[in-house]
Amino acid sequence: MTSLTDRLAGFAAQTAPADIPGSARAVLRLSLLDWAAVAIAGRDEPVSRITRGMALAEAGAPRASVIGHGTRLPPRAAALVNGATSHALDYDDTHFAHIGHPSVAVLPAALALAEDRGADWSALESAALIGLEASVRVGLWLGRGHYQHGFHQTGTAGAFGAALAAARLLGLTKDQCAMALGLVATRASGLKSQFGTMGKPFNAGLAAANGVEAALLVEGGFVANPDALEAPQGFGPTHAGSAEEGALNDLGQAWLFEGVSHKFHACCHGLHACLEAAKTLGALDPAAIERIEVATHPRWLSVCNQPAPSTGLGAKFSYATVLPMLFLGHDTAQLQSYSDDLCAEPAVQALRARVAVTGDDSVAETASRLHVTLAGGEVREATHDLAAPMPLEDRQARVREKAGALLGPDIAARLWQLAGGAGGVAGFAAALRGAGDAAPS
């Protein structure tokens, strides 16, 4: 039987650009715009400034762009900074197949080496898609047990995707791609215990930098155990991996990345289904709401069910806060809506006390069921599943609207053109360096 590593290495080294469907490239364009907009908007977050400051102080060969800064850095350092920066707001895309954020781990690695090696736009697209798809497949192979045990798939599965994207741009052979997977297995890391701190976005930066590092070392002749992802005492066996059969079914024919979910609320993705369900209820008088009952998959109870957060960051991980926000008229898509002051608002606190959240195994991980009881006994019910198909045109409209809200319509429109290849790799990278100067704070 062909090993997991062998199949992934072959996928990275041997997939022809013509074998990548246009539908996957269309979704990638959405994620490139979304990733760029969220990263630029997050360029001044503390984790972004601190990580960038460290890398700039160390300096090095100016070969890859840094988001929101005119100075270039070595590819590994640029990937670290850009990965952390693009996940600083926790507003980037999520794939629920393995519960990971693929773009923030893979795109910084791909862009850094595309710049460094002078790759064209088609090569960047192909490498990015191969890395994104690989990160989802490795995440599936590791399984839910890996995530439940406390590992952050963005940092772990993401590192393997970043390594293959980097290996593809370096033109590594199949055997070298396997070696890169084996080497990054000893570097991949990321803990869910960092959620709610700067450590969470830093996990994304680590994944991107580890992928670049592994690929560059292998290009230079570094020898590691190429089977360290799945071998005894390898990454999977030592990190609560489930070795899920079928994780690579139809690899190269079916592109699971196309099912990525873009965030349209500036909070944990586990909260989005309940917010989308609540929006279908229309305007409700908050004073008439007696009880809000949320049924969600039990997995989210340990992720985004803070009952009474006192900070804006905590609000992003709280069913009991985001639903009152929405019913009270706060825009859950706006970054500034999540603040310490909001958590202290008497109206928010009063409505928060009426929210009850329960875990229900019959509810999909991507779904929520809402039951709102009004004064007089009237009940309003709604459900929403983020996995429900959304036409590409609708997804595009919402991603572009989000980018415009973050950066302003002119910058967002320019980034949309660049995400489609206008201006090539150099043009896209230049926009990431300079668009932040023109973006509203």
Query: In this predicted structure, what is the pLDDT of residue 439?
Result: 37
* Residue range 197-206, pLDDT digits in tens: 899 999 999 9
Residue 438: per-residue pLDDT:
38
372 within 8 A of 6, measured Cβ to Cβ: no
Q: Please, where are the H alpha helices in 284-419?
A: 312-315, 319-327, 340-344, 346-352, 392-407, 409-419
pTM: 0.92
- 229: its two tokens: 């992802």
- How far is residue 441's CA from residue 438's CA, in Å, rounded to a whole number? 9
Q: How many helices (H) and strands (E) does the chain have?
A: 18, 6
pLDDT (0 to 100) of residue 62 = 96
d(CA 124, CA 107): 9
pLDDT at residue number 313: 84
Which residues of the chain carry a pLDDT beneath 50?
436-441
Residue pair 164/180 in contact by the 8 Å Cβ criterion: yes
